[in-house]
Amino acid sequence: MAEIDYTAVVAKDLEDLIPVFIKNRNKEIDLLRTAIGAGDYEQLKQIGHRMKGVGNSYGFAPISDFGKGIEDSAKKSDKAAVGGWIDAYADYLSKVQIRYE
């Protein structure tokens, strides 16, 4: 994965939706961790797929990349790779800065 840009440029009109969006992403981290703990690759695949769609739409391109990584690794049942993507995702969420335009 290319260098992560920790600044998300979000459309001004989405501003009201962002607090819930971020809250849901943090919940997603918990869900992903529970799923990897249970070895539930189907669930990991579904969550990854959903992240792929929603990240870019809101202006958080790295979330889509993490989602793709999780989905692809889950398809291969590659636990280590999935774990790496989850960690990167959690790190991103803790650092991301939002700029509204």
CA-based R_g, the chain, Å: 13
The nearer residue to other proteins, 2 or 20, going by C-beta atoms, is 20
Site pattern 14..53 for other proteins (x: CB under 8 A): x--x--xx--x---------------------x--xx-xx
**Length of the chain (residues):** 101
Instruction: Closer to other proteins by CB, 64 or 73: give it.
Output: 64
Segments in the chain forming alpha helices (H): 18-38, 41-58, 61-75, 79-95
Instruction: Give the footprint of other proteins on residues 57-96 (CB under 8 A).
Output: 57-58, 64
Distance of CA 83 to the CA centre of its chain: 12
Output the CA–CA distances (angstroms, integers) from residue 59 to 11, 13, 18, 24, in the order listed: 7, 12, 10, 15
Of the candidates 55, 74, 86, 92, which one interacts with other proteins according to CB under 8 A?
55
In the complex, the residues that contact other proteins under the rule CB under 8 A are 11, 13-14, 17, 20-21, 24, 46, 49-50, 52-58, 64
